[in-house]
Structure 1
Amino acid sequence: MTLLKASGFDKLNHRIQGNTMSEKNKIGAKVKLVRENRKLSIEDVSERTNLPAEQIKSIEDGSLVPNLTPLIKIARVLGVRLGTFMDDDENLGPVVTKAQDKKEVTRFSDRGNAVNSDLDFYTLAQNKAGRHMDPFIIDIFPSSEEEIKLSTHEGEEFIYVLEGEVEIIYGKDKYELKQGDSIYYESIVAHHVHSHGNEKAKILAVVYTPA
């Protein structure tokens, strides 16, 4: 798997400082930078991912809160890890995240073309070079049944419920998990994770995507 060189991240950080992207999506500039470094057009990425070109453009310019599934597809086409879109400088040694450390939030949506976030991701392995797993603490906000859209992508996921209750649709099955419950599944099967009821939930999630 090809990773961005350090100079690329330096260039990216400089560009983001002057970027007026929405607070809802801070990773669009990184998606665009990686794509341009690969000398691929939006149309090239669209053709290889089977994603609409307008959706990719909206992710890059920050007008759309990205769904995790298209980001994984884009990362695969660009030859980088999903975490590349969330990292700054890479760390070759262990990455320690202290409880008191301020954690940067990355906002996603599981509702397709959404302009508001219902998933707040806090990465626990930011800047870890060459990692194959991405661990997150995720705040899941209530959403209506009409907004549920199943997604599928390569890899595996592990979820442990820290607070509240979540419902997971996995293929034709549904699983209700409470605090202390966990689930491990292959994400190639269509699935969706959402809070159960009208209360926010918090989970520990580990996402593995193959190289």
Structure 2
Amino acid sequence: MADDKNIGTKIRSIRESKQMSVEELAERSQLSIEQISNIENDTNVPSLAPLIKIARALGVRLGTFLDDNENLGPAVSRKDEAIETIHTSNAEKKTASLNNFFALASQKSGRSMEPFFIEINAVDDGTLEMSAHEGEEFIYVLEGSLKVIYGKDTYILSAGDSIYYDSIVSHLVCAADERGAKIVATVYAPA
């Protein structure tokens, strides 16, 4: 199972196998050279948006960074076997993990969607950044209270509530209060 400490290594390996320079990947993904280098060297904890942009620029699906499996059949995730696969941050200073992602289908190859169980720890304190990327997202709140800023609108969701939106619109997902939230989210990012 992948973890956030080898996502950068996987990205570098894929980039190098495609004989692509850091500069070229930065240009294709519309990210800075410094941001690509920091991700590849595991010196910053990225949000999902740059990972999706990098996957698209490399011509791979987001799940390529999370798994190494070739299972074409169904993927079953047992609650007692959940393994934390990635940490993300959407803060200005991306050195601290604010959200913990547990991939729910990492053993399924060729998937078009990325389902996650996510522990949301970040509260909007003014340092969080909006993100935008191609695709769609569906979120179902299991526990706690979630704040979703979508464009100019803000939604507060409680346990049992859900939201489905186009990811191309600037958005921010964070805890509505210091207690945090637990959600199930599915991200679709076209390859």
Structure 2 alignment gaps of length 5 or more? none
Structure 1 alignment gaps of length 5 or more? 1-12, 17-22
Q: Is the partner of 2:116 in helix, strand or coil?
A: strand
**Residues of 2 paired with 1:63 and 1:88: CA distance?**
23
Matched with 1:25 is 5
Higher alpha-carbon Rg: 1
Instruction: Please say if residues 24 and 117 of structure 1, whose CA atoms lie closer than 8 Å, have aligned partners that are also in contact.
Output: no
Q: Which moved more, 1:122-131 or 1:94-103?
A: 94-103
**Residues of 1 paired with 2:4 and 2:69: CA distance?**
22
Equivalent position to 1:62, from 39, 42, 47: 42
**Residues of 1 paired with 2:40 and 2:92: CA distance?**
15
Matched with 1:120 is 100
**Residues of 2 paired with 1:76 and 1:24: CA distance?**
19
- How many residues are treated as equivalent by the alignment? 191
Instruction: Return the TM-score normalized by structure 1.
Output: 0.86
Instruction: Please say if residues 121 and 181 of structure 2, whose CA atoms lie closer than 8 Å, have aligned partners that are also in contact.
Output: yes
Q: Is 1:201 aligned to 2:184, yes or no? A: no
Per-residue deviation, 1:82: 0.5
Matched with 2:77 is 97
Aligned-pair identity in percent equals 49
Cα deviation, 1:80-116, whole Å, max 9, x if unaligned, reads 0001000022211111111221413310111244100
Per-residue deviation, 1:143: 3.0
Matched with 1:142 is 122
- C-alpha RMSD of matched pairs (Å): 1.6
Aligned residue identity for 1:48: R
Q: Is 1:176 aligned to 2:153, yes or no? A: no
Aligned residue identity for 1:115: T
Aligned residue identity for 1:58: N
Question: Which has a greater percent of strand?
Answer: 2
Instruction: Please say if residues 135 and 168 of structure 2, whose CA atoms lie closer than 8 Å, have aligned partners that are also in contact.
Output: yes
Per-residue deviation, 1:129: 1.3
Instruction: Please say if residues 65 and 113 of structure 1, whose CA atoms lie closer than 8 Å, have aligned partners that are also in contact.
Output: no
Instruction: Please say if residues 25 and 107 of structure 1, whose CA atoms lie closer than 8 Å, have aligned partners that are also in contact.
Output: no
Q: Is the partner of 2:37 in helix, strand or coil?
A: helix
- Inter-CA distance 127–39: structure 2 relative to 1 (3 Å threshold): farther
Instruction: Please say if residues 98 and 121 of structure 2, whose CA atoms lie closer than 8 Å, have aligned partners that are also in contact.
Output: yes
Aligned residue identity for 2:85: V
Q: Is the partner of 1:135 in helix, strand or coil?
A: strand
**Residues of 1 paired with 2:85 and 2:142: CA distance?**
18
- Inter-CA distance 121–204: structure 2 relative to 1 (3 Å threshold): same
